[in-house]
């Protein structure tokens, strides 16, 4: 009996398979489906087969995963790593769709246990990021709607609007920003509680156009490892390893986070002490998705907020990275639109963005009124 599914499921599945992963005939893809309705998983399988490719499906549940983590040993984590890495090396592409009724399901998993598992499993993530065509997205749930202060129906409508928008149009508008960031040396970020400088000289830049994350809408680079100096005060709540943090403030000296505070300063610093690389920065990015205006404590959405930037303690990407290594990669978001306190981004002494709006003529195509 054929599933009767929401036509939006079909549209999203086709976008992920044909646009995001550009799946080709004869290729293998791993579909990592976490707390996702079977109807959508079926649509993904059908879209993969229609492309002439072969789907491999992993179905997971967050409550089951939590129980596994609570009893995880180093020996078991190593076995998981070896098995997952063996499978990942067979794949040309990877899509993860992650839903959860409770975004803080892992909040009571001991921090030391999470750190151990993150370190051991890291090679799987590194291989997937660097060696496959991949895309990661959330699945809309009532808990996400609640975090966004929206009704379930309104949030679902927002979700499918933003996840199936015209990413090809956005990709074209990103080109001037990517070119500018590639030739930029000095970056200066200003705003309430924020006065931070660093260099991205020689690092490069990469536009994110719906081929790695859905939703998408950012251009990222990375500070040179020891170049960041000053302070940055984030105004967006952030979840990491099941713990919610607010009012995160980082003070940096010669690239290293010398002081960090938040509503849970102790846990914040525990995470930043995971390894030597966790106190250095692995990414700097400007976000501009016109459909995403406010935080919902989900980083795949929050890092793309219109008029935002994110600054990332921990692991750097191989593309446009500074070779920093860490089990941590923690995107922290600062919104600079006027209603969030405003702020400025300067490149080599030129004001590029003020209060969330790009000022140079060739960058104005990234402002919300021109992308919707």
Looking at the predicted structure, is the pLDDT value of residue 4 above 70?
no
How confident is the model over 227-261, as pLDDT tens digits? Answer: 999 999 999 999 898 889 999 999 999 999 999 99
Mean pLDDT to the nearest integer, 157-174: 91
For 2-22, the DSSP string reads -----HHHHHHHHIIIIIIS-
Q: 């949030």: which residue's tokens?
A: 155
Buried/exposed 63-100: b ≥16 CB within 10 Å, e otherwise: eebbeebeebeeeebeebbeebbeebeebbbbbbbbbb
Question: What three-state secondary structure class fits 230?
Answer: strand
How far is Cα 331 from Cα 232, in angstroms, rounded to an integer? 13
Nearest CA-CA partner of 319 in 134, 79, 195, 164: 134
How far is Cα 344 from Cα 190, in angstroms, rounded to an integer? 5
Looking at the predicted structure, is the pLDDT value of residue 3 above 80?
no
Nearest CA-CA partner of 205 in 226, 188, 190, 223: 223
Looking at the predicted structure, is the pLDDT value of residue 67 above 50?
yes
How far is Cα 58 from Cα 49, in angstroms, rounded to an integer? 16
How far is Cα 193 from Cα 216, in angstroms, rounded to an integer? 28
Rounded (to 5) percent helix, strand, coil in the chain: 35, 25, 35
Kind plus residue range of the DSSP H or E element containing 158: helix 152-163
**Cβ-contact 321, 282 below 8 angstroms:** yes
Tell me the pLDDT of the chain averaged across its residues. Answer: 94
What pLDDT was estimated at residue 2? 55
Kind plus residue range of the DSSP H or E element containing 293: none
Tell me the pTM.
0.79
**Cβ-contact 249, 265 below 8 angstroms:** no
Looking at the predicted structure, is the pLDDT value of residue 115 above 60?
yes
- Looking at residue 363, the DSSP 8-state letter turns out to be G
Q: Could you confirm whether domain 7-163 is CATH 2.60.120.10?
A: no
Looking at the predicted structure, is the pLDDT value of residue 1 above 80?
no
All CATH 3.40.1830.10 domain ranges of the chain, comma separated, are 7-163
Question: What three-state secondary structure class fits 212?
Answer: coil
pLDDT grade for 198, boundaries at 50, 70 and 90: very high
Length of the chain: 372
What pLDDT was estimated at residue 5? 73
pLDDT grade for 343, boundaries at 50, 70 and 90: very high
pLDDT grade for 213, boundaries at 50, 70 and 90: confident
Residue 361, burial from CB neighbour count under 10 angstroms (0-12, 13-18, 19+) = exposed
């Amino acid at each position: 009996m054929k599933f009767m599914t929401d036509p939006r499921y079909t549209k999203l599945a086709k976008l992920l398979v044909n646009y995001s992963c550009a799946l080709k005939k004869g290729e293998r893809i791993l579909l990592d489906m976490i707390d996702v309705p079977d109807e959508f998983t079926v649509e993904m399988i059908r879209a993969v087969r229609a492309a002439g490719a072969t789907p491999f499906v992993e179905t997971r549940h967050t409550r089951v995963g939590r129980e596994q983590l609570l009893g995880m040993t180093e020996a078991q984590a190593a076995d998981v790593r070896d098995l997952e890495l063996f499978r990942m090396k067979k794949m040309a592409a990877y899509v993860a769709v992650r839903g959860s009724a409770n975004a803080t399901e892992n909040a009571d998993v001991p921090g030391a246990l999470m750190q151990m598992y993150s370190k051991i499993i890291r090679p799987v993530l590194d291989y997937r990021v660097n060696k496959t065509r991949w895309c990661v997205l959330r699945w809309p749930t009532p808990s996400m709607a609640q975090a966004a202060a929206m009704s379930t129906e309104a949030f679902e409508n927002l979700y499918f609007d933003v996840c199936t928008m015209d990413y090809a149009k956005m990709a074209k508008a990103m080109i001037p920003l990517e070119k500018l960031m590639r030739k930029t040396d000095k970056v200066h970020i200003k705003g309430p509680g924020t006065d931070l400088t660093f260099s991205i000289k020689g690092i490069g830049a990469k536009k994110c156009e719906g081929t790695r994350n859905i939703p998408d809408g950012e251009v990222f680079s990375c500070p040179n490892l020891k170049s960041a100096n000053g302070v940055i005060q984030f105004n967006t709540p952030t979840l990491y390893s099941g713990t919610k943090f607010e009012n995160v403030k980082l003070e940096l000296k010669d690239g290293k986070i010398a002081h960090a505070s938040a509503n849970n300063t102790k846990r914040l610093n525990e995470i930043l002490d995971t390894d030597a690389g966790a106190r250095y920065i692995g990414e700097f990015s400007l976000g501009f998705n016109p459909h995403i205006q406010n935080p919902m404590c989900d980083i795949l959405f929050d890092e793309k907020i219109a008029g935002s930037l994110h600054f990332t303690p921990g692991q750097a990407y191989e593309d446009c990275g500074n070779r920093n290594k860490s089990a941590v990669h923690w995107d922290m978001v600062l919104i600079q639109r006027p209603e969030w306190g405003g702020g400025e981004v300067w490149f080599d002494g030129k004001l590029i963005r003020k209060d969330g709006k790009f000022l140079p003529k060739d960058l104005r195509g990234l402002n919300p009124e021109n992308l919707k």
